[in-house]
Amino acid sequence: MIRFAFTLTALLLGFATYAQHEKPAKISSASLQEGFGPLRLGNDSITIIGKYLNYQPKKGDEFSVSVYDFLSTRQMEFKAAIDANGQFSIKVPAQAPCDIFLDWGVTWQRTIGVPGETIYYTADPSEYNDLNWEDPSFFNRKFSTRFQGTNSRLHMEILAFNNAYDGWFDNSYHSWSDENLPDLAYRDKVVHKKLLPEWAFLQSWIKQHRPEKRTIQYLEARVLCQTNYMLMQYLYKLDKLKQRQFSPGYLATVDSIRNVLPQLGYLSRDYQVVIRDMATYGSLVTGWNRPQAADSVYNTLKPLDIERELRLAREITAQYSSTSSPLPEADFQRGLAALKDPFVREAIQKRQQYFKDLDARMDAEMQLTGLFSDTTGLGQLTTTEAVYRHITAPYKGKVIYLDVWGTWCAPCRDEMQFAGELKKRLEGKDVAFIYLANNSAEKSWRNFIKDRKLYGKSTFHYNLPRAQQQLFEKQYLKGGYPTFILIDKSGKFVTNTAPRPSNTDEAVKAIEALL
């Protein structure tokens, strides 16, 4: 039986030394008498069987479930067809109790997925048509949304809290990082203006509704995980703040909150990002060229065993992501030897084998004929205009949606997961999707395209000679990578700030306006 009790004074080590700040308040909980237990990873799944009420069938309608890959922290979206009666069924992987997002953008449900469970889900999408996050009264309505199954009480309690919370919270905290506060001032604001009020609201709700212990455990963990997420994301402000690293008190706060999270047995989206950002922070401070495992500020934060496994696994996974190729055998064996958790080891072995198999596939098998566009003669071009004409001329009469990206660019890779949906929405229309790869090794470039299935009748890939890529980017790149460009049917440049594939509705609208 696990018991969990802590005070904010303990969490915020060194916090009270700043006289200008209010005295830390006490936060306590005894919610972990029963619950999910310590965080462990395994190979399992979650099944969702559902029905939409008052469903109006539309061609191509799908029910989506989003989860986060524990190796890459990348969002994975799974979809299942909705039949004419509004019914659907889908199974998604689950390595631990984790965040799952059900048809986000339609019925907007976030809950915890328990490995091995079957969730029976009912909702009326029309009740969410006029969703307004700024209108608290919206969440006071009675909704038809219901969860049934073994964990029905858990899910219904989370649903009730979500509705209460969404009608109460102030989302202005999203803009706090834009204020460029010193790190300790930002920490204090996050703690006093977000963590403490949310914790008080949660404890009041718990007292009023008396939910089961797993519900309390999950909701308390969610508040703590989001707090640490906000604190660690501030590392991307250090350069602008002209700080080389966080103040010791700042890291002590992060560390104190983080130390209790593995006890919660819940692999939240925010917690996964925190672990990733901690490793990134260590590399930034010590220098990217120094051995991270031997000399890293990250290691001063006393990573727990499960965090160590996840960090090492993600470092290996990042190499797969950037090269889309198997690791050299010596590097692979060295990485595998450093991992102790059997499930994590097996996951890395499967990934290595996947890329070995990918490496061996023939282009013809994947219908890639003509996919890689001919760059013959490009090396002779010496002006931006000439490069532009060479790329766009073959597609005159079509609207061109052009993505300037690189295999090494994480935000570029993240956007690729939304490319399929965008192309599906525009299928059969006069649109050409062109990808211009920056500084990407030929093998990695080709394997990445195969891996992400970035091919089709309207898709064309270029890996330009460096000089010609630079000529093009000098005029058309906007704010870094990726840059999305729209070109009209006559070949005229329209914009280099086109909506991203992840903003699918706006991207479709912008493209269709040129058809």
Is the pLDDT at 132 greater than 70, yes or no? yes
CB count within 10 Å of CB 60 equals 9
String of DSSP letters for 461-476? EE---HHHHHHHHHHH
pLDDT at position 13 is 38
pLDDT at position 15 is 42
d(CA 473, CA 486): 14
Tokens 């559902």 -> residue: 50
Average pLDDT over the chain, rounded to an integer: 82
Range ranked top by mean pLDDT from 168-177, 230-239, 296-305: 230-239
Average pLDDT over residues 503-511: 93
pLDDT digits (tens, 9 = 90+) for 321-346: 777 888 999 999 999 999 999 999 99
Q: What are the angstrom distances between the C-alpha of 204 and each of 103, 166, 189, 199, 201? A: 29, 15, 22, 9, 5
Strands 109-113 and 87-94: unpaired
pLDDT digits (tens, 9 = 90+) for 168-196: 766 666 667 667 889 999 999 999 888 99
CB count within 10 Å of CB 7 equals 12
pTM for this prediction: 0.75
The H or E element that residue 485 is part of is strand 483-487
Q: What are the angstrom distances between the C-alpha of 434 and each of 347, 413, 419, 486? A: 33, 15, 11, 10
pLDDT digits (tens, 9 = 90+) for 252-268: 888 888 777 777 778 88
CB count within 10 Å of CB 427 equals 11
Three-class secondary structure of residue 397 per DSSP: coil
Percent of the chain with pLDDT over 90: 38
Average pLDDT over residues 89-97: 94
Nearby residues of 208 by Cβ (< 8 Å), 6 or more positions away: none
Q: What are the angstrom distances between the C-alpha of 183 and each of 65, 316, 319? A: 36, 31, 31
Q: Which residues pair with 78 in a beta bridge?
A: 65
**pLDDT band for position 430 (50/70/90)?**
very high
Is the pLDDT at 293 greater than 70, yes or no? no
Answer whether 235's CB lies under 8 Å from 250's CB: no
pLDDT digits (tens, 9 = 90+) for 19-40: 334 333 344 444 433 577 778 8
pLDDT digits (tens, 9 = 90+) for 118-130: 999 999 999 988 7
> What number of helices (H) and strands (E) belong to the chain?
18, 13
d(CA 142, CA 443): 55
Q: Residue 455, exposed/middle/buried by CB under 10 A (0-12, 13-18, 19+)?
A: buried
Is the pLDDT at 465 greater than 80, yes or no? yes
pLDDT at position 434 is 93
Nearest to 42 by CA among 289, 306, 371, 357: 306
196-209 and 213-233 helices, crossing angle to 10°:
170
d(CA 374, CA 441): 16
